[in-house]
Each structure stands twice: as C-alpha cells, then as structure tokens.
Amino acid sequence: MNKVLKTVGLGAVVAGMALATGSGIAFGQAAPGADTSERIATQAKPAVVRVFSGCRANYRWVKTGKVYEELSYGAGSGFFVNPNGYIATNAHVVEYSKDPATCEEDAFLDFVIELAKDNGIDTRTLTNEQARNLINNARQGSVRTSFSTISFVRLPNGTDLPFEIKTYGAPAGEGKDVSVLKVETRNAPVLKFADSDDVRLQETLLAAGYPGAANSRVLASESSLEATFTDGRVSARKTAKDGSPILQITNALTSGNSGGPVMNMKGEVVGMATFVATNGSQQVAGISFAVASNTVMEFVRQAGTTNEDGPVDRAFREGLDLYWSGKYTPAIAKFEEVRQLFPNHAEAQRFIQLAREAIANGKEVKPSPTPAPAPATPAPAAPAAPAPVTPGNGGAIVSPKGEASGINSMVIPVGAISLFAGALGIMAAAGRKLTSKNRAPAVAAPATHSGTFCASCGGTIRNGARFCPTCGTPHRAGA
C-alpha cells in the first residue's frame, strides 16, 4: 500500500522539513464473448505491474538503547513496454530509488515522531522552535545502525523482481515525469503505444493501475494483486511547464495509479497517469492528468529498447478469442503455450481453470460435423472426333448419333474424281443404302431418263452432252 507520511503533524509545524514520498504528493497515482472494454482490460492486465520504491532504516536511541525500525516507501504502477523486461512508470514513483538520501530523511522523521510519542510529546502541538529542537536532539542522541533501499516490481501473480533505473526524467512540476526500469525476465507481456498526437477530444479511454484506496482491509490480501480499471474521456490537451504535452482526462485516478497506462479503445497506450487536481488537501474528482505516450516513447528509446509485443501477447490473444468463442479445448492449448513462454503469467492459469470448468459443465461449442461430399455429377462425355471424311466424298458429316450435321464441301482436285466414280455410280444404280458414316448416303436412281448411260460410272448422259455430268468422262455419241 502507498505510504502515508507519519510526519504530517510535524511537517505542518516545520514547513519544508517533511519531504513527500511518492504517495504524499498530490499525484494521480497512477464481447460476443466479451465487450470491447472487457477485452482490452483482460488483455492488458498481465502487462500492468506494481512498483515499490523506498528504504528501511534502524535507529538506536542511545539513552535507552531502544532500536526503532523504520520503513519509508512509495508504491505506484507501471507496465511492460518490451518483452525483455523494460517497464515504463513515473519518475516520482521511483524517486526514492533514484535518490536514497531523500528516503533516509523521511525515515528519520518517522523515527523522530515515534521517539516523541514514547516521551509523551504530541508533535501536532509543537511550535516551530520546539519542533526544530526535537529534531536536533534526536540526531544528537541516536545512531543509525542499518540502511537499505527498496526497489522492486510486483507482477500480477505476486512475483517480486528487483529493478534497475535505465532512464529518469523528473517528478511532475520539475520536468517530464517518466522513468524506464529494467527487470530480469523474458517474454513478458507488453502494451503497445499509439501516437498521442492522434488523440481526439472526448475520446473514450481506459486507465489501469493499483490505487492504494482499493486495498481495503475488508478485502483478501491477494486482491492487492488485481489491477483496477476505470473508464473516462479526454477532457483537454494541456502543456506542462517544460513544454511537453499533457492529457487532461476524466478517469478516476488516485494515489497509487501513478505510472499506470491510459489506453484507447484499441487497447493502445496513449498516455501514462501522472497526477490529479487537488483543492487544498482534497482531490478534485474527474480531473486527472496523463503524460502523452509520445513523451514516454522518448525515454523508451533513451533506454536503448523498442516498444514491441512478443510471442506471449500473440498466443494470449489467440487463446482469448478461442475462449470467448466457446472453443475451450484449443483455448487451453494456447494458454498452456503462454505459461511455457512466461511462467509468471497469472491470467493464463486462471483462464485454463475457467476453460476446464466450462468443458466439465458441457458448455464447449462442438465443431460442426463435416458434411459428406455430394456425389460427383458425371461430366458430359466429350464429343467424339468427327469421322474422317475422305477428301471429295461430297457426303454428310455424321454426328455420334448417326445424324447428319452438315455437308462436306471440301474442294478436291478434279483428277481424283474418277478414282471412285465407277463404284459410286454402280451402287447408286442398284439402289444400295450406304451405312458407313464415312460414305455418302444412298441416292436413288432417277425413275426415268432421256439419253444414255456413261460407260465409266453408269451415270445418265443426256442427249447431245459431250461429257458425263457425274464423272466428267468424255462421251461419244452412240456409245
């Protein structure tokens, strides 16, 4: 949970002495199977982490020998930007890790308050002079026996990983409130950035993080691992004192949300929660601010890395699509793939269990049976090749059914006629019917004639004709 400074009373008396932790500053800590918002939140959850930064210090009060153990820390949010363990968050969230001396001062003030309480002194009633004397006496009469820093990221499954600060801007109000951390891991789930210059006024947004207010004593301890999602819209585009763009949003953010992603309805990060508006000590509802994603990307590049997703993101998306379609068995296979690639993926295990329960309850969508192939319609038989026609036979081209389909009108040399003329004339005269499709149909002999017959082909030659009209043989009268 976020640290609430125990130096509030003393700090009110000694202005400027009580340095704020990350939680003490007024910053916004920041389908068919599921609807759009649920899909975005479910896919984003594994990439959103909790960031802890602070210190531990022990002080021994020499007069009594009593040792006071002090823990001073701040907690915020962050998210993976690269599968190789790079995480984006606010600079003010990790200020204690960047400057341990600041944390030690706050831890010492915690010690002073406890020391005063042991001696019956209410720090809220002290004058400025009395408060300064108390602090000086505590320094002179105590010894710091130990000091250590706290710098780790807590994944959604409860695993803690120490971090190293790769790039660091400055706390809000002093500069660009961005820092990029590095933890030792591979195939981490990632959130992709969008171009914040394309953000539209009143565009719908979804913010994620770990607000301290959500860690109620009424809830089970494991609930602190569950990221909180709030929806809102873009209220305005502002500019920070350093000239960097800031998005004013209506998402309900509070202490602990700092460093969390603010996403559009494509699930892309357009900003990072940084601070909230206050009226005195009271937070103003509905007025929160986010560092633009393009500014965050500056620090990602400075850290020597890129913003890209990995195999875990692709497998998890495919698994969710199958799950939301009721195809639980193949979905389980995808979630198992996710677990093999990134064992700390808490959502994969949860969906495996949900899918198994759905299968046990008979809710799985059965694949449609493959219909039997329809009997093939026999292709029409290819027409038989036309019967070869002897050149110049003057006959019909006969179809496969024996029907005449046309007359062969090929022109042939006149000298070839006499080769077949005799036989043709004899068969015609006898009235023989031709049945071969390669031959001309039978032609009945004329019932009467006026003239004589050709000696070569038997054809009728009219009186006075010099040539046979059938075969062209010269005719001599009286022959």
List 192's β-bridge partners, or say none. Answer: none
Residue 162: is its pLDDT beyond 70? yes
- Per the CB < 8 A criterion, the answer to whether 205 and 249 are in contact is yes
- pLDDT bracket for residue 170 (50, 70, 90): very high
List 52's β-bridge partners, or say none. Answer: 75, 152
69: Cβ contacts below 8 Å, ≥ 6 apart: 56, 58
Average pLDDT on 88-97 reads: 97
Q: Is 282 exposed, middle or buried (0-12, 13-18, 19+ CB in 10 A)?
A: exposed
Cα 278 from Cα 271, distance rounded (Å):
20
Long-range contacts of 414-423 (CB under 8 A, 24+ apart): 414/472, 416/391, 416/392, 417/392, 417/471, 417/472, 418/456, 418/471, 418/472, 418/473, 420/393, 421/456, 421/457, 421/459, 421/470, 421/471, 421/473, 422/456, 422/457, 422/458, 422/471
Cα 224 from Cα 155, distance rounded (Å):
11
Q: Name the percent of the chain lying above pLDDT 90.
A: 60
pLDDT reported for residue 462 = 64
Report phi then psi at 299, rounded to 5: -75, -30
Cα 211 from Cα 385, distance rounded (Å):
87
- pLDDT bracket for residue 411 (50, 70, 90): very low
Cα 228 from Cα 208, distance rounded (Å):
6
Q: Which of 20-29, 238-247, 287-296, 420-429 has the highest mean pLDDT?
A: 287-296
Cα 449 from Cα 407, distance rounded (Å):
27
Cα 203 from Cα 437, distance rounded (Å):
84
Whole-model pTM? 0.70
One-letter identity of residue 162? P
Residue 32: is its pLDDT beyond 50? no
- pLDDT bracket for residue 33 (50, 70, 90): low
Work out the widest C-alpha separation in the chain, in whole angstroms: 170
pLDDT reported for residue 224 = 85
Q: Name the CATH architecture for the domain at 8-214+224-302.
A: Beta Barrel (2.40)
Average pLDDT on 331-359 reads: 96
Cα 83 from Cα 190, distance rounded (Å):
6
Between helix 328-341 and helix 346-360 the angle, nearest 10°, is: 160
Q: Which of 6-20, 303-317, 462-476 has the highest mean pLDDT?
A: 303-317
- Per the CB < 8 A criterion, the answer to whether 29 and 257 are in contact is yes
pLDDT reported for residue 366 = 81
**Judging by DSSP bridges, how do beta strands 282-292 and 142-154 pair with one another?**
unpaired
- For residue 214, what is the enclosing H or E element? none
- Per the CB < 8 A criterion, the answer to whether 271 and 241 are in contact is no
Average pLDDT on 218-239 reads: 89
Residue 406: is its pLDDT beyond 50? no
pLDDT reported for residue 292 = 97
Pick from 279, 207, 275: nearest CA to 238: 275
Cα 437 from Cα 388, distance rounded (Å):
9
pLDDT: is 195 or 477 the higher one?
195
Residue 296: is its pLDDT beyond 70? yes
User: Could you tell me the two tokens for 179?
Assistant: 């820092």
What is the chain's mean pLDDT, rounded? 79
pLDDT digits (tens, 9 = 90+) for 42-86: 999 999 999 999 999 999 999 999 999 999 999 999 999 999 999
pLDDT reported for residue 93 = 97
- pLDDT bracket for residue 163 (50, 70, 90): very high
pLDDT reported for residue 353 = 96
- Locus of tokens 């010099």: 466
- pLDDT bracket for residue 285 (50, 70, 90): confident
Q: Which of 33-37, 92-96, 369-373, 378-382 has the highest mean pLDDT?
A: 92-96
pLDDT digits (tens, 9 = 90+) for 102-135: 999 999 999 999 999 999 999 999 999 999 999 9
Between helix 100-118 and helix 128-140 the angle, nearest 10°, is: 100
Report phi then psi at 9, rounded to 5: -65, -45
Instruction: Give the domain ranges of the chain.
Output: 8-214+224-302, 311-360, 396-462
**Judging by DSSP bridges, how do beta strands 142-154 and 204-209 pair with one another?**
unpaired
pLDDT reported for residue 395 = 37
Cα 45 from Cα 344, distance rounded (Å):
13
Cα 151 from Cα 160, distance rounded (Å):
10
User: Could you tell me the two tokens for 407?
Assistant: 């007359």
Cα 106 from Cα 450, distance rounded (Å):
144
Pick from 477, 294, 458: nearest CA to 469: 458
Q: Which of 151-160, 193-202, 434-443 has the lowest mean pLDDT?
A: 434-443
CB atoms within 10 A of CB 270: 26
Residue 424: is its pLDDT beyond 60? no
pLDDT reported for residue 145 = 96
What Cα–Cα distance (Å) separates residue 99 from each residue in 22, 102, 151, 168, 273?
12, 6, 12, 11, 22
pLDDT digits (tens, 9 = 90+) for 232-251: 999 999 999 888 999 999 99
pLDDT: is 271 or 436 the higher one?
271
101: Cβ contacts below 8 Å, ≥ 6 apart: none
The DSSP result for 240-292, as a single string, is: -TTS-EEEEE-S---TT-TT-EEE-TTS-EEEEEEEEEEETTEEEEEEEEEEE
- For residue 461, what is the enclosing H or E element? strand 460-462
User: Could you tell me the two tokens for 271?
Assistant: 């900003």
pLDDT digits (tens, 9 = 90+) for 426-451: 333 444 433 334 333 333 333 344 45
Average pLDDT on 206-216 reads: 85
- Per the CB < 8 A criterion, the answer to whether 92 and 25 are in contact is yes
